[in-house]
A = this chain, B = another copy of it.
Amino acid sequence: MRGQPQDFDRVLSSMCTPPHPVAREAAERYLATNPGDPATYQTVADLEDDAVAMLGDIVGLDDPAGYIASGGTEANIQAVRMARNRSVSSDPNVVVPESAHFSFQKAADVLAIELRIAPLTDNYTVDLGAVKRFCDEDTAGIVGVAGSTEYGRVDPIPELANIAHRHDALLHVDAAWGGFLLPFTDHDWHFGHAGVDTLTIDPHKMGQAAIPAGGLLAREDELFDALAVDTPYLESAKQATLTGTRSGAGVASAAAAMQELWPDGYREQYETSVANADFLVDALRERGFDVVEPDLPIVTADVSSELFEALREEGWRVSTTGSDEMRVVMMPHVTREMLSAFLTDIDRLRPTVNINT
């Protein structure tokens, strides 16, 4: 077998993180189970019910309909599919912010619907005026992002819900990454705060579960009926997944991680991530870099491409935004020591690249 798995000690831009030890243990124990076949694999099917109930607690829903998906991409595709199937238009469209994850582009191709991409404000949240202009009688859904991929921003979810419902469209919130941080902020983002219809939240990102564990929740079971293929009504959201055989390891790890960490462990992690973000922002500004003020703990800074390449050559796994800013995501594995080592390398490499860096 080749090499070794990627070490996390230089991974700064991934939205994935090593699973929490209880999540790893559960993943290994349930590796040989398939929640796509609940008649055979009954215990893991029950664990999925537990996981969905706990996600409901996190996202303000008492009796959630939903399932543990392969990831946020599947959850987003399914949400758009629900909106499309429910729509009476022969040419449905979905309005999304420019900050929306690539999975919505994929969804539009797969589902053969039109995507209308609304520009952002200067603060990287969606421009509500543009959303209103893009909505029409064919609009089947609107997407709001709660924790955007590049800048960690939260769109104005209650206002988006109002616009959606005025057009008889569904509101979908993509909280794939933000969902395990936002409970500890003052943002309005979930089913309890606004007329949200569907929501993506991924245990395998900040939830510290093992891959694959995304999550799709809906306000009511009937929304999942739009995904029924061979019957008019579904007994359970789980019958409507985009896959067949599914990973019991992911489901069990999601249940184990949330049981262990919600709410106190996740709160501690939020506080640690925010403190680390503040530390890095200050340190980069002291060194003269332009840094975007974070909201959720993602730090983006204007770093020259030469310095960026030099850091990658040192083994740092960093990526950039669409505007070529370096982007660091304060996942649980990103420690103060890692950030200090990163700054040490920035200081060391900077004079060796372009003098204008």
**A contact residues vs B (CB 8 Å cutoff):** 1-6, 8, 11, 13-19, 24, 26-34, 37, 39-44, 46-47, 50, 70-74, 77, 81, 85, 101-103, 105-106, 109-112, 202, 204-205, 210-212, 214, 227, 229-230, 242-250, 252, 255-256, 259, 317, 319
Other-chain contact of A70, B72, B202, B210, B212 (Cβ < 8 Å): B212
Asked whether B5 lies within 8 Å of A74 as measured between CB atoms, the reply is no
Chain B residues near A6 (CB-CB < 8 A): 33, 40-44
Known: A44-B6, A105-B230. A242 touches B74 (CB 8 A): yes
Instruction: Add 12 more A-B contacts to A1-B26, A70-B70 (CB < 8 A).
Output: A6-B33, A11-B40, A14-B40, A19-B32, A24-B31, A73-B244, A101-B244, A105-B230, A106-B229, A110-B111, A211-B245, A211-B248
Known: A14-B40, A110-B110. A71 touches B245 (CB 8 A): yes
Other-chain contact of A40, B13, B24, B211 (Cβ < 8 Å): B13
- Enumerate the 8 nearest inter-chain pairs by beta-carbon distance, A residue then B residue, closest first: A73-B244, A3-B43, A18-B32, A40-B317, A71-B245, A6-B41, A70-B70, A212-B247
Please classify the interface of chain A as helix (H, G, I), strand (E, B), loop, or mixed, using the class held by over half of its residues.
loop
5 interchain pairs (CB within 8 A)? A1-B256, A5-B44, A5-B248, A6-B43, A214-B245
